[in-house]
Amino acid sequence: MKRLLTGGLLLVAQIWTIAVVLAGPWEDGMAAYNRGDYVPAMAVFRALAEQGNAEAQTLLGVMYRRGQGVKRSSARAYLWLSRAALRGNARAKTELREVSQAMTAEELAKAQEIAEACEASNYRTCEY
């Protein structure tokens, strides 16, 4: 019985170790986001978003829209949501439509300008 219990605990420990090793930046970011720790989540998602990850771009847009871990900014929300929408992310398309409708024509024009400049520079000269 003792041997069975020890073997079972060892197997659980091995599985846990494999799960931790397989967890990557996305999982780390989601864990931080889900516990309301938005600043580290933002850092993880920004790095992934800059690499073209549409899910991360969508979450960045949502976080800017809600002011989670950053100052609320419709323009920054637009920037990231538009990038994700171009990659076909359905949630980003919905969020982008909603944020765009809440912006004035001037705000929307400025947001589009920022988005184009950021994309053109591959996010190197982007102000967040």
Question: Are residues 78 and 60 in contact, defined by beta-carbon separation less than 8 angstroms?
Answer: no
Kindly list the distances between the CA atom of residue 16 and the CA atoms of 7, 9, 23, 33, 68, in Å, as whole numbers in the listed order.
Answer: 14, 10, 11, 22, 31
- Architecture of the domain spanning 2-120: Alpha Horseshoe (1.25)
Tens of pLDDT, residue by residue over 105-125, are 999 999 888 888 887 777 666
Domain ranges in the chain?
2-120
Please say if the pLDDT value at position 92 is more than 60. yes
pTM above 0.85, yes or no: no
Please say if the pLDDT value at position 15 is more than 70. no
- In the predicted model, what is the mean pLDDT of the chain? 83
Tens of pLDDT, residue by residue over 22-42, are 569 999 999 999 999 999 999
